[in-house]
Structure 1
Amino acid sequence: MQKLLYLLVYPFLWLLSKLPMQILYIKSDVLFFLMYHVFGYRRKVVNENLALVFPEKTEKERNEIAKEFFKHLCDIIVETLKAFTISEKEIRNRFVVTNAEILDNYYQNNRSILLMAGHYGNWEWSGILNKLIPHQAHAVFKTLANQYFNSLVKKTREHFGATLVTNKKIVSVLYRKWKKGEKTLTYILSDQTPKMGHFKYHDTFLGVDVPMFTGTEELAKKLDFTVVYLKVEKSKRGYYKATLIPMTDNPKEYPDYQITRMFFDLLENQIREKPEFYLWSHKRWKHRDKV
């Protein structure tokens, strides 16, 4: 059944990805109308999240953020489809890394890197980083239930040469390469919600006390990797600017969980400045009453 669904859907997705971006954004506008005005996809979740973290804002202000978020979410959906077939030339033009040259210094100094990022802007197009760095590029992902679509997502995200590794295997993979002296850069979405009973630390995220994912910090300390924050900003529709912000070259010198706190401070600053570009449809605060 999984294979049949994949065979039916994949050709349609591939054909969509071949369309020019201006056509895909028209489809994004249609999708927004259906998702927001007709079906109300996750509007309750989004509204609850915004009311929780922005109690100082009026209902009108929060509704405007929600509306702009759904427009952005629909753009992310078509941009992810485009990632199936987008050319390197086009994505370099649309996703610009402003200071990739700083990674050369880390490489020359024999430093591997953990790149911490949040679900902000367009995290799917960050794969172009692999073309800009001397390190071996990796990205962490969670396996999908449908093995065929899992292979499709993996193939798409590896479009520009990065290697995708599951969250269950990333520690052993990086440890082996570290032992061999291979220099790596690993992209980790670090604002995800840990499973109940599997978290070691909780703190405030946008003013709400929740469990924190600390795996990136723990990995950095274990292997003595440099930690960098990837700040992604939306310049205009279809165009993003990414800036690499060094966090620490000496993670072992920091008290436990301070690096995690630093990451969330950086992410919060972005969200408060332009909240519409964060992933509000995710139930990030669902465990707030269980810490």
Structure 2
Amino acid sequence: MQYILYLLVYPILWSISILPFPILYLLSDFVFVIIYRIIGYRKKVVRENMALALTHLSYEERLIIEEKFYRHLCDMFLEMIKTMTISKDEICKRYVFNNYEVYAELEKQDKSVAIMCAHYASYEWVVSMNYYTKFQGYGIYKKIKNPYFDKLVHSIRSKYNASLITTKETIPTIITNHRNKKLSVYGFASDQSPKEGAAHHWAKFMGIEVPVHTGAEMLSKKYNMNIVFLKTKKVKRGFYQATIEVLTENANLVPNYEITDQFLKLVEKQIIEAPEFYLWTHKRWKHKR
């Protein structure tokens, strides 16, 4: 059944991926009407999250942001599909690194790098960074239940010289690479909610105390990695700019959880500046004190 589903869906995805961007965004406008106006996909979750996190805004102001968010969500979903066939020149034109030289200097230290980022703006097109880096890139993700679609995602990432590893594979991969002196760069989307019982640290995020992921910080301390924050800004429809900010070059000298707390503050700043580009459909505040 999973294979049949894959055979049915794959031609549709591929057909969408070869559409020119103007037509792709016309399709996105149509999908928006279905997802937001008709189905109301996760609208309850989005409104609850915004009510918790955006207390400085009125209900009417949050509704305006809500609609903008769903428009962006549909754009991003179709941009993810576009990744199947997008050219190197096109993605590099649309996802630009403002200060890549900051990261390049870190590679000269012969230390692996941990990139901390949020589910904000275009977190899928970050994969284009692998066109520039000398290190082997690894993206950490949650495995897709359908093995055929999971394989498809892996094949797409291989275009960019990027390897996908599941959360369970992350620690063994880092250990192996460290032992073999294989310099690598690991992407951690560290803003989502961990399981409550597995949390080692609670911190305030948008004014609410929640459990937070600390893996990027702790693994960087243990395996002597530099840590950077990747901030992505949506310039206009289909165009993004990324800025790299060094969090630390000496993780072991920083008190535990301070790096994670600093990361959360930077994500908060992003959200406050333009909340419509954050991924509000995830239940980020399902565990809170």
TM class by shorter chain equals over 0.9
Aligned counterpart, 1:222: 222
Q: Secondary structure at the match of 1:213?
A: coil
In the TM superposition, residue 10 of structure 1 has moved relative to its aligned partner by 0.6
Which contiguous aligned blocks of 4+ residues in structure 1 show a shift greater than 3 angstroms? none
Deviates more, 1:191-200 or 1:85-94: 191-200
After TM superposition, the structure 1 = structure 2 runs for residues 141-156 of structure 1, keeping only pairs within 5 Å, are: 141-156=141-156
Q: Secondary structure at the match of 2:245?
A: strand
After TM superposition, the structure 1 = structure 2 runs for residues 47-66 of structure 1, keeping only pairs within 5 Å, are: 47-66=47-66
Aligned counterpart, 1:174: 174
In the TM superposition, residue 276 of structure 1 has moved relative to its aligned partner by 0.4
Pair 1:235-2:202 in alignment: no
In the TM superposition, residue 210 of structure 1 has moved relative to its aligned partner by 0.7
In the TM superposition, residue 103 of structure 1 has moved relative to its aligned partner by 2.5
In the TM superposition, residue 255 of structure 1 has moved relative to its aligned partner by 1.2
After TM superposition, the structure 1 = structure 2 runs for residues 17-36 of structure 1, keeping only pairs within 5 Å, are: 17-36=17-36
CA deviations 1:22-64 (Å, max 9, x no partner) are 1110000001111111111111111111111122211110000
RMSD over equivalenced CA pairs, Å = 1.0
In the TM superposition, residue 150 of structure 1 has moved relative to its aligned partner by 1.0
CA deviations 1:71-121 (Å, max 9, x no partner) are 000000110010011000000000001111222222222121000000001
TM-score of the aligned structures, taking structure 2 as reference length: 0.98
Whole-Å separation in 1 of the counterparts to 2:159 and 2:71 = 26
In the TM superposition, residue 158 of structure 1 has moved relative to its aligned partner by 2.9
Does the CA contact (< 8 Å) of 1:228 and 1:246 recur in 2?
yes
Equivalenced residues, count: 289
Q: Secondary structure at the match of 1:144?
A: coil
Does the CA contact (< 8 Å) of 1:2 and 1:148 recur in 2?
yes
Whole-Å separation in 2 of the counterparts to 1:237 and 1:250 = 38
In the TM superposition, residue 250 of structure 1 has moved relative to its aligned partner by 0.6
Aligned counterpart, 1:283: 283
Does the CA contact (< 8 Å) of 1:124 and 1:157 recur in 2?
no
Whole-Å separation in 2 of the counterparts to 1:111 and 1:274 = 34
CA deviations 1:147-203 (Å, max 9, x no partner) are 111111222233211111111111111221122222111111111211121111111
In the TM superposition, residue 228 of structure 1 has moved relative to its aligned partner by 0.2
Pair 1:40-2:40 in alignment: yes
Aligned counterpart, 1:75: 75
Aligned counterpart, 1:2: 2
Aligned counterpart, 1:184: 184
Aligned counterpart, 1:89: 89
Q: Secondary structure at the match of 1:84?
A: coil
Pair 1:251-2:255 in alignment: no
In the TM superposition, residue 262 of structure 1 has moved relative to its aligned partner by 0.7
Does the CA contact (< 8 Å) of 1:142 and 1:166 recur in 2?
yes
Pair 1:128-2:128 in alignment: yes
In the TM superposition, residue 242 of structure 1 has moved relative to its aligned partner by 0.3
Residue type at the aligned position of 1:196: E
Does the CA contact (< 8 Å) of 1:201 and 1:257 recur in 2?
yes
Residue type at the aligned position of 2:40: G
Does the CA contact (< 8 Å) of 1:127 and 1:159 recur in 2?
no
CA deviations 1:246-284 (Å, max 9, x no partner) are 000111111111110011011110100100000011110
Q: Secondary structure at the match of 2:196?
A: coil
Identity %: 41
Whole-Å separation in 2 of the counterparts to 1:103 and 1:135 = 11
Q: Structure 2: 5+ residue runs without aligned partners? A: none
CA deviations 1:196-231 (Å, max 9, x no partner) are 211111111101111101111111111010000000
Does the CA contact (< 8 Å) of 1:46 and 1:66 recur in 2?
yes
Aligned counterpart, 2:105: 105
Residue type at the aligned position of 1:189: A
Whole-Å separation in 2 of the counterparts to 1:85 and 1:3 = 22
Aligned counterpart, 2:210: 210
Does the CA contact (< 8 Å) of 1:2 and 1:146 recur in 2?
yes
Q: Secondary structure at the match of 1:27?
A: helix
Q: Structure 1: 5+ residue runs without aligned partners? A: none
TM-score of the aligned structures, taking structure 1 as reference length: 0.97
Residue type at the aligned position of 2:46: V
